[in-house]
Amino acid sequence: MDAPLLPTTTALPEETRALGQQFAAFFAPGDVVALSGELGSGKTCFVQGVVEGLGGKRDDVSSPTFTIAHEYDARIPVYHMDLYRLASLAEARAAGLMEYFERADGVCLVEWPERVAGLLPPGTDVLVFSHAAGGHRTISRGTL
């Protein structure tokens, strides 16, 4: 993935969404991107930006609660997973997570990827979100 320069800091949710929009231009069908980071650090906000950047509707994007994967229509379909509440790898497999990762048509964006670190495809890009001073958010590249 070749994309905006990181690390970067955003002061507002709009800026994190704008970053997601910029990244969207670099995502290709079949990509799996891990969005790591603390609660409330802006991962879902970033997903909204990606969906907008791909021509989808930002309002479709919610924090998946008890559904592991949400699918959003866009030029490239976006598969959004929030694994915060995932109890086990068995649950991940039962929910068809591997099938999503193997799909060649869309982009998988995975919140709380640490829950399934061993299941993610090799070469998964990792973006790390964190809280910074002044209520800002820092987004950097990382590893799981």
Ligand X SMILES: Nc1ncnc2c1ncn2[C@@H]1O[C@H](COP(=O)(O)OP(=O)(O)OP(=O)(O)O)[C@@H](O)[C@H]1O
When CB distances are held under 5 to 8 angstroms depending on the partner's kind, the choice from Mg ion, ligand X, none that residue 13 binds is ligand X
DSSP sequence for 23-63: HHTT--TT-EEEEEE-TTSSHHHHHHHHHHHTT--GGG---
Does 20 participate in binding ligand X (rule CB under 6 A)?
A: no
Considering only the stretches 24-32, 37-45, 52-60, 91-99, report the one whose residues sit in contact with ligand X under the rule CB under 6 A.
37-45
Closest residue by Cα to residue 141 from 11, 15, 23, 21: 23
Check if the beta carbon of residue 46 is closer than 8 Å to that of residue 19. yes
Considering only 62, 63, 65, 67, the residue that binds Mg ion (CB under 5 A) is 63
Closer residue to ligand X (CB): 18 or 30? 18
Considering only 21, 33, 36, 43, the residue that binds ligand X (CB under 6 A) is 43
